[in-house]
Amino acid sequence: MLDLTPAKLAERSALRVNPCKTCQPVGAMYAALGVHRCLPHSHGSQGCASYHRTLLSRHFKEPAAASTSSFTEGASVFGGGANLKASVRNVFDIYNPDIIAVHTTCLSETIGDDLKAFIQDIDIPEGKLVVHTNTPSYVGSHINGFYNMMTGFISYLAKSAGTPNGKLAVFPGFVNPGDMREIKRILKAFGADFTLFPDTSGVLDAPMTGRYEMYPSGGTTLAEIAGLGDCTATLALGELTSDEPANALKRKHGVPYRLLPLPIGVSFTDRLMIALSKEKKVEVPTELEEERGQLVDVMLDAHFHYSGKKAAVFGDPDTVLGLAGLVLEMGMIPKYLLTGTSGSAFVKLAENLFRRHEVKDCLARESADLFELHQLIKNGKVDILIGTSYGKQIAKAEDIPFVRAGIPVLDRYGHSYFPIVGYRGGLRMLERISDALLDRQDRDAADEDLELVM
């Protein structure tokens, strides 16, 4: 393993420089936007909601609708109960959602607002719903907020009529709408009847029609969420993101679940295919077998361009692990794997990957920041950097090829429409990684060397 003595890398426990995460409410807001005709509601100051909406809007290049309790000094001292009651009434009157999903912020958590008690005391219009979850910004990350909001929906809405409905509940993990579309395409290829929850496809990648719709046609419906308790099983994609909501559904209604890695690359996607084959008791569809063969074929065709190259991968834990699996299958070495989300499980899963592929001198860090990643790269160079837009300054400073992947990507367009999951997503990522390395080779090679490659 790498030598991380203080002389090489100083340990920090109370300071983060250039964080590799954002706060819980962002994840909660994103999960709520994946529910049809749902309006996320930030119980805190107006600035919190504005910041969280801005980050999502910059990534998706779409308006991220949300409301706020708009705390002032009075609410900060005496509590925000009156603000929540007034804002819920106004939101239903003005914006007419079917459901409001309330999440807390630093301020409302610090003063100890009891949202469950507040909501029980609200005169909610007939046919409308309000749910909540607690998302203190000073604990965890947006990943925690995402699955906490999922758990809130399950706690409030999931029911069981006692008769299985034959559906699979599928939790996609913290991924883009393009990934959710790809997951649904795979499920349909198996002939599966399913509920994908949450589902931001058709919401944050809705087409331009010339008419603004505050609530586009996409998103998991309330009836589908209510029916989760009668599903035959849950496929929880993303071992560190989907475990808690899948467990909540099992505890509440006894729905068994399979916890799977995010299906990025060959082997992790294979595990999804095997799970679906067992659940549906059918063979893997020919079209998906062909896509797998295409991915492996391109890996073999281009392997000599990236075999042995060192990569640094950073971002959300399940995305990083999935991308690490892909680069290992390509014959690359994931020298540094880094996430800002806390949890020793990330490091254990990463080290299992290293052992399985028999690679050495690789390091996985949780609760880390990009300043630490930059210092690691200065101590031990890599050939390529893979992660969110926040790594661009590291790539620029160290002159490293950079492939953007995950959430957020703020400085490029169209990325959220295209998957990185499944065999198709793996093929896309393989192309982008190999193109970045070949572009660098073309930049640095002498003219006579380029002629030999063409």
Q: Per-residue pLDDT for the chain (454 aa), expressed as one digit of tens each?
A: 455 443 466 677 778 888 899 999 999 999 999 999 999 999 999 889 999 999 999 999 999 999 999 998 888 887 888 999 999 999 999 999 999 999 999 989 999 989 999 999 999 999 999 999 999 989 999 999 999 999 999 999 999 988 999 999 999 999 999 999 999 999 999 999 999 999 999 999 999 999 989 999 999 999 999 999 999 999 999 999 999 999 999 999 999 999 999 999 999 999 999 999 999 999 999 999 999 999 999 999 999 999 999 999 999 999 999 999 999 999 999 999 999 999 999 999 999 999 999 999 999 999 999 999 999 999 999 999 999 999 999 999 999 999 999 999 999 999 999 999 999 999 999 999 999 999 999 999 876 665 555 5
Last residue of a domain, one of 265, 280, 295: 280
Tell me, yes or no, whether 393 and 365 share the same domain. yes
Alpha-helical runs (H) found in 95-141: 106-111, 115-120
Does residue 85 sit in the same domain as residue 199?
no
Q: What is the predicted pLDDT for the residue at 7?
A: 43
Residue 348: inside a domain, yes or no?
yes
* Whole-angstrom distance, CA of residue 157 vs CA of residue 129: 9
Strand ranges across the sheet with 194-196: 194-196, 168-171, 233-237, 257-260
Residue 405 exposed, middle or buried by CB count within 10 Å (0-12, 13-18, 19+): buried
CA 324 vs CA 87, 255, 296, 308, 407: distances in Å: 44, 31, 16, 14, 16
> Could you give the 3-state DSSP secondary structure of residue 112?
coil
What pLDDT score does 454 carry? 55
Same domain, 149 and 177: no
Cα separation, 94 vs 250, whole angstroms: 37
Distance CA 363, CA 347 (A): 9
Residue 337 included in any domain = yes
pLDDT of residue 236: 98
Residues 138, 56: one domain?
Answer: yes
Q: Residues 78-96, buried b or exposed e (16+ Cβ, 10 A)? A: ebbbebbbebbeebbeeee
**pTM reported for the whole predicted model:** 0.94
What does the pLDDT read at residue 8?
60
Residue 31 forms part of a structural domain: yes
Q: Is there a single domain that holds both residue 336 and residue 221?
A: no
Rounded Cα gap, residues 370 and 392, in angstroms = 11
Question: Among residues 92, 127, 157, which one ends one of the domains?
Answer: 157
Does 104 fall in a domain? yes
Query: In this structure, is residue 139 part of a structural domain?
Result: yes
Backbone φ and ψ for 235, nearest 5 degrees, come out as -105, 110
**Residue 51: how many other CB atoms lie within 10 Å:** 15
Task: Please check whether residues 89 and 54 belong to one and the same domain.
Answer: yes
Same domain (yes/no): 439, 338: yes
Round to whole Å and give the CA distance between 454 and 450. Answer: 6
307 and 438 fall within a common domain: yes
Tokens 């729905």 found at: 255
Say if residues 147 and 172 touch (Cβ distance below 8 Å): no
Sequence-separated (6 or more) residues with CB below 8 Å from residue 90: none
| Coil vs helix vs strand at 55 | helix
Q: What is the pLDDT of residue 359?
A: 96
The answer to the question of residue 111 being in a domain is yes
If asked whether residues 47 and 180 sit together in one domain, one would say no
The full DSSP string for 358-399 is T--S-EEESS-BHHHHHHHHHHS--SEEEE-GGGHHHHHHHT
User: 3-class DSSP state for residue 169?
Assistant: strand
Is residue 96 in some structural domain? yes
What CATH number does the domain containing 413 carry? 3.40.50.1980
State how many domains the chain has.
Answer: 3
In terms of domains, do 239 and 367 share one? no
Q: How far apart are CA 8 and CA 57, in angstroms?
A: 39
Q: Does residue 288 form part of some domain?
A: no
- 196 lies in which domain range? 168-206+214-280
